[in-house]
Structure 1
Amino acid sequence: MTPPKGRRRLHLAAALDQPSAYDAGSYVDAARLAERGGLDFVTLGDGFGRPGPDALAVLARVASATRRVGLVPTVTTTHTDPVRVQAAVAALDLVSRGRAGWRIEVSAAEAEARLFGRHHTASAEELWREAGEAADMAARLWDSPEDGADIPDGACGRFADPGRQHPVDCTCSRFRVRGPSTGPRPPQGHPVRVVDATGKPARAVAALHADVALVRTAHPARAAAARAELRASAAAHGRDPDALRVLAALDIDLGGGEYAARPGHGGGGPRPTPRGPLYRGGPVDLAELIAVWHREGTVDGFHLTPAEPRRDLERLVNGTVPLLQHRGLFRTFYPGSTLRDHLGLRRPANRDAVAGGAS
């Protein structure tokens, strides 16, 4: 279902994190369930100091078992080579036929720094500045080959048209990158970049580079203020603010039955906890919460992390989503085949090809 003219499209995403699961099959099942509900994308967390499988590898496996849902792994920029990071995300976009995203994250833990032979980690401001540089470098490398520049002709020893490749030579605070990307331009041009913009250092990176910004708060007024700030900052950087989606990030516990809003949750609303904002109640009240926040223009949608992965994702897809569809707030089918299609985002033009044509 397409929203009526003048009504903003509602976006929904869910986390697939399953702390004790190492079998790819459980992630495949969860992603298929999310796809059945028409969710825009699923995320999978990762980090150097946490247990669990590699998020990129798992979602590459999920890609072959799904057809529409977007796939967004967390890939940390700290202690990593940005060339390898962008190549891995581009490869996921290729194997999923344009459904990949990249949740940009940093590593601030001293224990994780020691894994790489470093005694101390940098400040949050410096880490996120590096993350912004890595995000910009990734976009430059994704644009270094023009669309259709790849020529898979091993007999001639050529795999790309040199006239349609553009050099990249950039020095940043921690690395220097030279030369074009060795792979083709991703199907989406730029895989979708996602940033948790709750903290101030990350918010600056989100305004400049993100397609989707997540904001963790239990208070709708604060979410609305964060959205307004992000859009204004994006515009100040010369970006179209309508090309930035801002989603409220909530943990959800749907174990209480149909309604069953717990005391202190404001009739089904979220409340602050040490881990972040938590909604505890039933699928019906969750649908009402989503409808109210979206109707009031608080956010563009929600990123939901189930407290009990299988149970809460099932109740979200089978309970909350149909109620939102019945109200005409959420689609009943995917509008296209790529994650950018789902989010209503244009495919970015290749900046090097445009500049070359202009000259």
Structure 2
Amino acid sequence: MSYSKFPSTKKSLRVAVEFIGGPVPDVWADLTVDRDGGGPLDLSAAPRTVVRVRAADLREARKIRDRVRAEAAAEGRDPDSLTVLVDLEVIVDVEARAARRRAQEAWRRNGGGATGLSYVGTARGLAGLIADIHAVKVADGVTLIPVAGRVTVDNIIDGTLPWLRTLGLVEISPWAAEIGRRYVDGRGAALAS
């Protein structure tokens, strides 16, 4: 799709996290900031600037992103003013084998597997998937939904995000580590398990 009416800009890759299933309301937070100095994304902005997508596969996610951008252009809005994030359930560990074991345990406890797009593996593998999602314009970023507790969150914060930063793809929010560890340590929402 072409949106020639609006100048083309290279959007910053965005990575957010959502902690779900705890005793308090679900928590969504942007772990990145815009490379041009903008702050974290705001889900409550009006007009809407962030669109979350839940899809069965990457092809469906890309179709939804294209449709959302086309609708914005038809309304006279710059499609680049929108950030489309695809939801991705994740289980990340130091070794892929350990992540697969955690996935089997988590999904057995929950009575089934992932409900949409998912990734089970290492921090670096997750970084590669996120980079690919952005590079081929499936989405402008991801909302990671940690499924298997603290190990997953620690690997995202200490592995995935720094690896994306070394590739020049993200600027990590100064609050990312605090956000992640705060909710895993039980001072906020519990992680889905």
* TM-score higher than 0.5: yes
Which is higher, the Rg of structure 1 or of structure 2? 1
Give unmatched runs, 5+ long, in structure 1.
41-67, 71-98, 103-191, 194-208, 263-272, 335-359
1:305 alignment partner, SS class:
strand
Question: 2:32 corresponds to which letter in structure 1?
Answer: L
Which runs of structure 1 show a deviation greater than 6 angstroms over 4 or more consecutive aligned residues? none
Q: Shift of the alpha carbon at 1:284?
A: 1.2
Residue-by-residue CA offset, 1:81-111 (whole Å, 9 max, x unaligned): xxxxxxxxxxxxxxxxxx8643xxxxxxxxx
1:319 alignment partner, SS class:
helix
Q: Shift of the alpha carbon at 1:211?
A: 1.2
Contact 2:48–2:82 under 8 Å retained in 1:
yes
| Pairing 1:16–2:9 present | no
| Pairing 1:224–2:101 present | no
Which residue among 40, 43, 49 is the counterpart of 1:211?
A: 49
Contact 1:11–1:302 under 8 Å retained in 2:
yes
Q: Shift of the alpha carbon at 1:275?
A: 2.2
Q: Shift of the alpha carbon at 1:218?
A: 4.5
Which residue among 297, 304, 310 is the counterpart of 2:144?
A: 304
Q: State how far apart, in whole Å, the 2-side matches of 1:100 and 1:324 are.
A: 22
Equivalent in the alignment of 1:281? 121
CA gap 1:329/1:231 in 2 versus in 1, 3 angstroms: same
1:14 alignment partner, SS class:
strand
More contact order relative to length (CA 8 Å, sep ≥ 6): 2
RMSD value, Cα:
3.4
Question: 2:50 corresponds to which letter in structure 1?
Answer: V
Q: Shift of the alpha carbon at 1:309?
A: 3.9
Tell me the TM-score normalized by structure 2: 0.65
Question: 2:147 corresponds to which letter in structure 1?
Answer: A
Which residue among 330, 340, 355 is the counterpart of 2:170?
A: 330
1:253 alignment partner, SS class:
strand
2:116 alignment partner, SS class:
coil
Question: 1:312 corresponds to which letter in structure 2?
Answer: T
Equivalent in the alignment of 1:353? none
Residue-by-residue CA offset, 1:235-272 (whole Å, 9 max, x unaligned): 112222111111111111114x344475xxxxxxxxxx
Contact 1:215–1:223 under 8 Å retained in 2:
yes
1:317 alignment partner, SS class:
helix
| Pairing 1:39–2:32 present | yes
